[in-house]
Structure 1
């Protein structure tokens, strides 16, 4: 992942939101919430995650985008700011998959998204499950790999915004 990819991603998602939000209330019957794609994380925020074994791509991402808030896309999608990532409750997953992870995102339906620590591959969806002492456990079939890496996850999120803007139906992530 590099800065050019992140700039294109930001432009693509912003363009889709710019098409969706002006007519949102008429189309859906309620006003849209605030959607944001934040600027770069501050040096202090980046320092707060240095001890979390943050994958390189996620560190590059935070160097350009602090957080993403898309509350009206489906049930909502949120890429957490570095401070929230540093305070994470889940540090490893067990069940269908076993790995040390960094939780970096969530949706409004209760699922978390985690990337494998250090390597950054793959990205997992963690539906509601048992969490004890930092370990998430689940045999739920929705506990699955959703992307091969952070770029794949971001591509799928961009596509979910596009599907929602075009059809009003939530794209699956």
Structure 2
């Protein structure tokens, strides 16, 4: 892992590219799959979502790259990319953190669940910066490395969206 921090400008560029990829996917989705697509979108941050991010940071220390992501992106919804991917809004992350707590991942500092897939598997950002995926649809099961960083996680999502067109 490089140790470099996530660049907000890179995230903005990723948002533009991934949104374009999703638009291309949605333009032929009905014809290709025979049913209409769900709501597939990269939703940019707003003043309200910035407040939710600040509240999440006040609730618990979160990895700085996750803070950077939430300063640019409110949420990501990709129900029609593979089996679905969802980056939850900071307000939902805070609600889940209050309800379930953080997740313990191997020898990592506790992780914060911030995303899920259509199968109910959870994605957690750990203090190391790595992103972990639950082995089952559970907050309390084993987790395995899914990405080396938030940027790597986003790059994977972007490739998955582009690979379906």
- Separation in 2, partners of 1:21, 1:129: 28
- Separation in 1, partners of 2:137, 2:36: 32
Comparing both structures, which one devotes a greater share of its residues to strand? 1
- Matches for 1:70-89 after TM superposition, within 5 Å: 70-88=78-96, 89=100
User: Which of residues 7, 21, 24 in structure 2 aligns to 1:16?
Assistant: 21
How far residue 137 of structure 1 moved from its aligned partner, in angstroms, is: 3.0
Unaligned ranges ≥5, structure 1: 166-173
RMSD: 1.6
Q: 1:130 to 1:110 in 2, by over 3 A?
A: closer
Question: SS at 1:38's partner residue?
Answer: strand
- Residue 109 in structure 1 maps to residue 119 in structure 2: yes
The runs of at least 4 aligned residues of structure 1 exceeding 3 Å deviation read none
Tell me the residue number matched to 2:163: 163
Unaligned ranges ≥5, structure 2: 1-5
- Separation in 1, partners of 2:117, 2:95: 18
- Residue 34 in structure 1 maps to residue 34 in structure 2: no
Q: 1:67 to 1:24 in 2, by over 3 A?
A: same
Question: SS at 2:164's partner residue?
Answer: helix
TM-score, length-normalised on structure 2?
0.85
Tell me the residue number matched to 1:2: 7
Q: 1:130 to 1:106 in 2, by over 3 A?
A: closer
Moved more, 33-42 or 18-27: 33-42
User: How many residues are aligned here?
Assistant: 153
Q: 1:45 to 1:162 in 2, by over 3 A?
A: same
